[in-house]
């Protein structure tokens, strides 16, 4: 009888320990996923900041370097491609005296290990070389894709709303 009791206690303790190991293993996996998500967010955030730097420094090539060749975007409801950006951005940037843009409310949403969404509200103040001032604000969304360890934009959407100058 004492032996049966010992075996029963051992079995109960064994299952409790096994359960604790399982729970601990699940928590470690959740922790690893959280760490991976944080790392992913930081990586994409760094790329968003690089995009902002390229924009404000009028670096068309720097901006292109952050886009995949299959890149497409809706800009004010009009589709553009990588080729459109490649041909248009260099002449556009060259026509500007200053390009000031502020990005706020940045959110980065991981969609998996290879994809994430970034969104923010921009406010642009652009002065052309002929002195024309254009100010606008609106939402911007990018879909980021990671290939061979590199994050670049595969899709985007932005809408520009004019800011009325107050006199």
pLDDT single digits (tens) 104-117: 999 999 999 999 99
What is the pLDDT at residue 140?
A: 97
**Phi, psi dihedrals of residue 49, rounded to the nearest 5°:** -65, -35
CA distance 79 to 72: 7
Top pLDDT among 29 and 99 is at: 99
Position 164 confidence tier, pLDDT thresholds 50, 70, 90: confident
Top pLDDT among 14 and 162 is at: 162
CA distance 151 to 105: 21
Q: How many Å is the Cα radius of gyration of the chain?
A: 25
CA distance 99 to 54: 10
Top pLDDT among 33 and 132 is at: 132
What is the pLDDT at residue 11?
A: 56
Using the predicted structure, report yes or no on whether residue 22 has a pLDDT greater than 90: no
Q: Which CATH class is domain 2-162?
A: alpha beta
What is the pLDDT at residue 166?
A: 58
pLDDT single digits (tens) 127-145: 999 999 999 999 999 999 9
Instruction: Give the mean model confidence (pLDDT) for residues 40-51.
Output: 97
Q: What is the pTM of this model?
A: 0.77
Give me the residue spans of the domains in the chain. 2-162
CA distance 163 to 131: 17
Half-sphere exposure of 161 (CA within 13 A, CB side): 6
Residue the block writes with tokens 């902002």: 52
């Amino acid at each position: 009888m004492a032996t049966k009791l010992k075996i029963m206690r051992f079995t109960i303790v064994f299952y409790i320990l096994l359960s604790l190991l399982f729970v601990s293993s699940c928590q470690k996996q959740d922790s690893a996923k959280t760490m991976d998500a944080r790392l992913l967010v930081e990586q994409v955030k760094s790329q968003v900041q690089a995009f902002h730097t390229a924009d404000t420094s009028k670096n068309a090539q720097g901006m292109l370097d952050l886009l995949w060749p299959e890149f497409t975007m809706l800009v004010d409801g009009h589709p553009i491609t990588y080729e459109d950006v490649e041909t248009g951005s260099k002449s556009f940037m060259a026509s500007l005296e200053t390009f000031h843009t502020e990005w706020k409310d940045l959110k980065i949403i991981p969609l998996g290990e290879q994809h994430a969404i970034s969104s923010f509200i921009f406010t642009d103040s652009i002065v052309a070389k002929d002195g024309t001032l254009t100010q606008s604000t609106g939402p911007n969304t990018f879909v980021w894709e990671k290939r061979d360890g590199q994050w670049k934009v595969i899709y985007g959407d932005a809408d520009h709303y004019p800011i009325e100058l107050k006199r």
